[in-house]
Amino acid sequence: MPNYICTFHRWMERVQLRAEKTARSYARTLVNLFQEDGKAPEVMATEEYFTLTKASIKNKTGNGQRSASVRAFIEFMENHKGPLEEAPDDKLYQACKVSAEKRKRPDDGKHVEGEKEKKLRRTLELPDDWSVRILSRTSGETVLAVSPEGKSYSTREDIFERLGRPADWTPGVAAKPAANSKPAAATAQSAQKAAPAAKSDSAGKPAPAAKSDSAGKTAPTAKSDSAGKIAPTAKSDAAVKPVAKSDPAPAAVQVTVAGEDFLRQTLPVADALKLVASRKGVAKLEALLVDGRDASAMLTQRLHGLYTLVNQQESEWPLFEKADDEKRTLLSFNKEKGTWRFSASLDAKGDFAKAKDQAATPWEVKKTWRVFNGKSHESDEAFKVTHLDFHRPPSSSVEVCLKGGIAG
């Protein structure tokens, strides 16, 4: 394990270009996790372990430092192909001592649920192909419900959303239809009644249908006022103009880079938020939308998109990451320069775009964003950052690119 920690530490500095202080902090955090859990490196580099760590109390009180360290270790294990480096006699690396009890590895077979886990399964009425695990850590117990695809869910809300249940679902109680809902047959009948048949006049003759002119516009229906005179109805442009056809959404594109699969697709913002939330194993996300720049301008595709909160930085300013696993883009605050910046990493020397403004959040920035044009940064008045309401997102679409190929 010391060799893993040492190689991980140096990999973050050389490949990810992280600051020495940050890399050392992540390495030390991983040591602490190893001491607490005694898990093998291959286990610590799994999404299940990441979900477990993220849900822990120590991670939440530590501003996400633990889950951020595990995420970096997952990337290291996925991308580092060379041999491990020999760890020097450094306290950082040699502190990897764990008790014999924690070194015991679980059986390689299928997890056998205990009585407590079986009771929880019955309470939640989980399908037979799901599994339940209650894991004990120094910070307390964490419950994980694992789907057939291997995804772990640690909250009741996440489990219900994955199973398509309403948030107020109660075990053993069938879902009630909405108060105003009607059976399908009744709806069909009411729809037929709603379509007015041709009316007949007092002489029993059918009234003539409204005539349309050569442009396809329908003549307005005449209304009668209280004096018996015919009052013309105001024309509505929306009613007479043909509905504009929207261009079909771009097809999803499968991309393979360095042996890894990515799926790039354009989705309604609402669907993109749910998809990213599902991948992160959370019920909802703190998110923002970046757009407004000319599509033909430099760095537009790199900057535009959906950004979600990663974790709180050491300072009071939040950190956001674009929903693009192929091309990483971060939106962070540089305290030394008092600048909000878009960059490839926190330690990157160059900025894709920036705004010298000490607003508490990027959507509160008042100054104009300046975008790199290849030589210098120029102002872009149209470029904007908008905070999203997870439950009431805009009707627009956004491109996302997630690791793992076809999205579930």
What is residue 150's predicted lDDT score, i.e. its pLDDT?
A: 65
* Domain shared by 30 and 65, yes or no: yes
* Domain shared by 45 and 144, yes or no: no
Least confident of 21-25, 39-43, 151-155, 248-252: 248-252
Residue 225 lies in a domain: no
- Strand segments (E) across 323-383: 330-334, 339-343, 353-355, 370-372, 377-379
- Strand segments (E) across 88-227: 131-137, 140-146, 152-153, 223-224
List C-alpha distances in Å: 348 to 187, 343, 352: 59, 6, 10
Using DSSP, state whether 143 is helix, strand or coil: strand
pLDDT at 175 over 90: no
* Domain shared by 64 and 154, yes or no: no
Fill in the DSSP letter of residue 233: P
**Structural domain boundaries, residue 151:** 115-162
pLDDT at 179 over 50: no
Confidence at 227, pLDDT banded by 50, 70, 90: very low
As for how many domains the chain has, the answer is 3
The percentage of residues in the chain with a pLDDT greater than 70, rounded to a whole number, is 67
Residue 315 lies in a domain: yes
Show the DSSP H helices in 125-172 as ranges.
156-162
Fill in the amino acid letter for 154. S
- Report pLDDT digits (tens) over 47-95: 888 888 888 778 777 778 898 899 999 999 988 888 888 888 777 876 5
Please say whether the beta carbons of 130 and 123 come within 8 A. no
Helices 65-79 and 47-54, interaxial angle, to 10°? 170
* Domain shared by 62 and 148, yes or no: no
* Domain shared by 98 and 153, yes or no: no
* Domain shared by 272 and 327, yes or no: yes
- Strand segments (E) across 317-369: 318-322, 330-334, 339-343, 353-355
Q: Quick one: tokens of 178?
A: 């909405």
Please say whether the beta carbons of 272 and 288 come within 8 A. no
Residue 210 lies in a domain: no
Residue 337 lies in a domain: yes
pTM for this prediction: 0.41
* Domain shared by 262 and 351, yes or no: yes
